[in-house]
Amino acid sequence: MGRRKLVVGNWKMNGLRAQLPEVEAIGALAAERPVVEVGLCLPATLIMAASQVKGGAFVGAQDCHMKDNGAHTGCLSAAMLAEAGASWTIVGHSERRQDQGETDADIAAKALAARAAGLKVILCVGESLDVRDAGGAEDVVSAQLLASLPEGAAADWLAIAYEPIWAIGTGRIPTMEAVEAMHKALRAALASRIGAGEANAMRILYGGSMNGENAAELMAIEDVDGGLVGGASLTATKFAPVIAAAG
């Protein structure tokens, strides 16, 4: 189907300038493996310095505001992040949906703001453990995806990350069958909104305790087009086998 694998590290609230050598080492790994698209979504304070040493990796942000500018103390617009050197941003991570109370509508608006500033976007969705245990997680997450999907969603600027909340930072992952079923359902949901051609071209990443041990198996699943990686992206040593597993 020709979807280039996309492997992105999300450093969350981790990283000072002392970690720039890790960025540089990950950038070197990415340059060695151009078949995979590799990036790091960093704390905003590191974006500018990281873009000087990023090698073959792209540098991204972890969130952006939905407005271009204005009275929003402490927030950063997509244009600010782009100017600092970001070429991608995450929107809708479950930690922000939870900690900052972001709604599906907020997330769609953020994605549009990012696109308007020239950023590519990783839009995150995923279910809680209660939803997983109750059954029907595919329907719940598909509905969440369609509710937060921005207008004009297209594969050349948007990727989706499926991140089961209960798998984030826990060392637990769903069964391969469950991941396969979810990614298939999400692609079908995308097709219902943007058409089969665009949906087939769009990358759907898996995230949640992905590491060097499980990445190859996860990324071998037909509709898994890469990973959004937290803890295992913080050093080049840990991230290297995840990147290698993608191609």
Ligand X SMILES: O=C(CO)COP(=O)(O)O
Residue whose pair of structure tokens reads 């297209």 in the numeric block: 154
Of residues 114 and 194, the one with the C-beta less far from ligand X: 114
**Is 164 one of the binding residues for ligand X (CB under 6 A)?**
no
Contact pattern from residue 4 through residue 23 relative to ligand X, giving x for each residue in contact according to CB under 6 A and a dash for the rest: ------x-------------
**Is 229 one of the binding residues for ligand X (CB under 6 A)?**
yes
**Is 208 one of the binding residues for ligand X (CB under 6 A)?**
yes
**Among candidate residues 55, 57, 52, 28, the one with its CA nearest the CA of residue 40:** 57
The single-letter code of the amino acid at 145 is L
**93 is known as an active-site residue:** yes
**Residue whose C-beta lies closest to ligand X:** 230
Beta carbons within 8 Å of 15's beta carbon, 6+ residues apart:
42, 43, 46, 234
- Tell me how far apart the alpha carbons of residues 43 and 178 are, in angstroms, rounded to a whole number: 31
**Is 91 one of the binding residues for ligand X (CB under 6 A)?**
no
Binding to ligand X, residues 46-65 (CB under 6 A): none
Beta carbons within 8 Å of 120's beta carbon, 6+ residues apart:
60, 87, 88, 89, 114, 157, 158, 159
Residues touching ligand X: how many (CB under 6 A)? Answer: 14
Among candidate residues 22, 37, 102, 163, the one labeled active-site is 163
Of residues 192 and 237, the one with the C-beta less far from ligand X: 237
Among candidate residues 65, 93, 102, 138, the one labeled active-site is 93
**95 is known as an active-site residue:** no
- 124 exposed, middle or buried (CB, 10 Å; 0-12, 13-18, 19+)? buried
Of residues 79 and 167, the one with the C-beta less far from ligand X: 167
Tokens matching residue 37? 């698209």
Q: Which residues does the annotation mark as catalytic?
A: 93, 163
Residues near ligand X (CB under 6 A) are 10, 93, 163, 168-169, 207-210, 228-232
